[in-house]
Amino acid sequence: MLHKKKLFQSIGISFTAIVLLIASSLVPFLGQPLSAAAEVDHVTLTWESDPKTTQTITWRTEETELSGQVRYAQSEFTKSFPYNAQTLDATVERVATNLGNMNIHSVTLMGLKPGKRYVYQIREGSGWGEIRNFSTPSAKNDGFKFLVFGDSQSINYDVWRTTLQQAFKANQDVSFFTNVGDLVDVGQDYAQWDAWFKASQGVIDRIPAMPLTGNHENYTPERRFSQPVLFTAQLKVPVNGPESLRRQVYSFDYGDVHFVMLDSQIGEQVQFVPQILESQKNWLEQDLAATNKKWKIVFLHRPPYHNKVGGANSSVKRAFVPILDKYHVDVVFSGHEHDYARTYPIYNDQVVGSPGKGTIYVTTGRSGTKTYNDTAASEWNSFFYNPLDEPNYLVVEIKNQILHVKAYKQSGALIDAWSIDKNMEFK
Ligand SMILES: [Fe+2]
Instruction: Give the tens place of pLDDT for each residue, 238-285.
Output: 999 999 999 999 999 999 999 999 999 999 999 999 999 999 999 999
* Distance from Cα 368 to the centre of ligand 1, integer Å: 12
* Distance from Cα 416 to the centre of ligand 1, integer Å: 23
Give the whole-angstrom CA distance, residue 290 versus residue 330. 16
* Distance from Cα 104 to the centre of ligand 1, integer Å: 26
C-beta separation of 43 from 57 below 8 A: yes
* Distance from Cα 374 to the centre of ligand 1, integer Å: 14
pLDDT score of 81 = 83
The whole-number average pLDDT for the span 149-166 is 98
* Distance from Cα 260 to the centre of ligand 1, integer Å: 18
Percent of the chain with pLDDT over 90: 85
Give the whole-angstrom CA distance, residue 280 versus residue 264. 10
* Distance from Cα 375 to the centre of ligand 1, integer Å: 14
Give the whole-angstrom CA distance, residue 194 versus residue 189. 9
3-state secondary structure of 301: coil
* Distance from Cα 391 to the centre of ligand 1, integer Å: 16
* Distance from Cα 182 to the centre of ligand 1, integer Å: 5
Give the whole-angstrom CA distance, residue 394 versus residue 404. 10
Domains and CATH numbers, the chain: 37-135 (2.60.40.380), 144-425 (3.60.21.10)
* Distance from Cα 217 to the centre of ligand 1, integer Å: 9
- Reply yes or no on whether the pLDDT at 19 is more than 50: no
State the DSSP code for 188: T
The distance of Cα 152 from the centroid of its chain, to the nearest Å, equals 10
- Reply yes or no on whether the pLDDT at 76 is more than 70: yes
Give the whole-angstrom CA distance, residue 176 versus residue 243. 26
* Distance from Cα 264 to the centre of ligand 1, integer Å: 10
114 falls in which pLDDT band (50, 70, 90)? very high
* Distance from Cα 181 to the centre of ligand 1, integer Å: 7
C-beta separation of 383 from 418 below 8 A: yes
pLDDT score of 24 = 35
In 3D space, the residue among 236, 143, 226, 138 whose CA is nearest the CA of residue 187 turns out to be: 226
Indicate the pairing of strand 69-74 with strand 117-124.
antiparallel
C-beta separation of 145 from 396 below 8 A: yes
- pLDDT tens digits for range 334-359: 999 999 999 999 999 999 999 999 99
* Distance from Cα 30 to the centre of ligand 1, integer Å: 45
* Distance from Cα 310 to the centre of ligand 1, integer Å: 14
Give the whole-angstrom CA distance, residue 224 versus residue 267. 12
- Crossing angle for the helix pair 314-326 and 276-290, to the nearest 10 degrees: 20
The whole-number average pLDDT for the span 97-126 is 95
In 3D space, the residue among 187, 319, 329 whose CA is nearest the CA of residue 251 turns out to be: 329
- pLDDT tens digits for range 355-383: 999 999 999 999 999 999 999 999 999 99
pLDDT score of 168 = 98
In 3D space, the residue among 361, 360, 366, 359 whose CA is nearest the CA of residue 408 turns out to be: 366
